[in-house]
């Protein structure tokens, strides 16, 4: 366990050296989104929730997903390019422990990003409060671990940054925009409303939005169950992927 936490600490120090890219870049994009939507749709309501608060919680969830996924992916691709990934063969840690160290570092980065984003932008969001703080904490941890482990799996199998660009542009971004970040799922025409309900990202966003605002596009406890099950599946996939790729280095 000591070596696993040492690997975690190394990854935290790595992204701490790149504050402008890892932390402040998502905050700038959040401010730009809020500025545009605040001008276009300010004052509108989604149920009992102000629309600006609705998209704000969606943007925070989106940043949580992106930060958690990109951190281990970048770290592992860079390690492959520099050859330092060979060090993982020497670490006396089980493959799942290596993956969890990277995933926990991703969660840490995501938490720091969200906290700073709320400090910088939350003061002008109307009606911002915490309806279910414990559920929010649980949802953030599960979401961070889920996409952190997905980032580990992708980073282990990816051959370069071209693969990461393809993943973020053609898979992650469409899933995010069909997850209900900017609109209620019920407003989508058929069959996209049904497709969105089967989008795993929708359940992460729905869970975090419900924890903050009390508004939900569906059953939040179903979303919690989906996020938990997907996290367990990704844990198993991460362990297998890490074990195979480390042996083949």
Write the DSSP assignment of the chain as a string of letters: -HHHHHHHHHHHHHHHTTHIIIIIHHHHHHHHHHHHHHHHHTT-EETTEEHHHHHHHHHHHHHHHHHHHHHHHHHHHHHHHHTGGGGGGTS-S-HHHHHHHHHHHHHHHHHHHHHHHHHHHGGGSTT---S-HHHHHHHHHHHHHHHHHHHHHHHHH--SHHHHHHHIIIIIHHHHHTTTSSS-GGGSPTTHHHHHHT-HHHHHHHHHHHHHHS--SS-HHHHHHHHHHHHHHHHHHHHHHHHHHHHT-
Distance from C-alpha of 87 to C-alpha of 101, rounded to nearest angstrom: 14
pLDDT band at 98 (very low <50, low <70, confident <90, very high): very high
Q: Tokens representing 21?
A: 């890219």
Give the residue numbers spanning the domain of 117: 2-247
Residue 56 C-beta-side C-alpha neighbours within 13 Å: 25
Residue 19: predicted pLDDT: 73
pLDDT band at 144 (very low <50, low <70, confident <90, very high): very high
Report pLDDT digits (tens) over 146-190. 999 999 999 998 888 888 888 888 889 889 888 999 889 888 888
Alpha-carbon dihedral 180, 182, 188, 191, rounded to 10 degrees:
-40
Distance from C-alpha of 150 to C-alpha of 144, rounded to nearest angstrom: 10
pLDDT band at 3 (very low <50, low <70, confident <90, very high): confident
Distance from C-alpha of 81 to C-alpha of 84, rounded to nearest angstrom: 8
Residue 111: predicted pLDDT: 92
- Indicate the burial class of 57 (C-beta count within 10 angstroms; 0-12, 13-18, 19 or more): buried
Higher pLDDT, 27 or 180: 180
Nearest Cα neighbor of 149 from 137, 141, 160, 138 is 141
pLDDT band at 123 (very low <50, low <70, confident <90, very high): confident
Sign of CA dihedral 111, 37, 203, 234: negative
Total of domains in the chain: 1
């Amino acid at each position: 366990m000591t070596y696993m936490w040492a690997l975690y600490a190394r990854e935290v120090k790595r992204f701490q050296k790149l504050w402008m890219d890892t932390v402040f870049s998502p905050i700038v994009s959040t401010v730009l989104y809020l500025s545009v939507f605040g001008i276009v749709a300010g004052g509108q309501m989604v149920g009992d929730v102000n629309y600006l608060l609705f998209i704000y919680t969606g943007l925070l969830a989106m940043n949580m997903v992106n930060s958690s996924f990109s951190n281990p992916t970048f770290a592992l691709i860079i390690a492959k390019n520099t050859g330092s990934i060979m060090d993982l063969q020497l670490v006396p840690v089980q493959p799942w422990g290596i993956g969890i160290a990277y995933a926990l570092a991703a969660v840490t980065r995501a938490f720091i990003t969200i906290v700073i984003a709320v400090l910088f932008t939350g003061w002008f969001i109307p009606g911002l409060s915490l309806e279910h703080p414990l559920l929010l904490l649980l949802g953030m941890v599960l979401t961070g671990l889920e996409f952190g482990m997905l980032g580990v799996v992708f980073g282990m199998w990816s051959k370069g940054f071209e693969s990461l660009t393809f993943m973020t542009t053609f898979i992650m971004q469409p899933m995010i925009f069909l997850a209900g970040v900017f609109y209620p799922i019920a407003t989508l025409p058929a069959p996209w409303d049904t497709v969105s309900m089967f989008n795993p990202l929708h359940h992460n966003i729905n869970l975090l939005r419900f924890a903050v605002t009390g508004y939900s596009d569906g059953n939040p406890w179903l979303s919690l169950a989906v996020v938990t099950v997907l996290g367990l599946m990704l844990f198993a996939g991460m362990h297998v992927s890490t074990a195979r790729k480390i042996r083949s280095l």
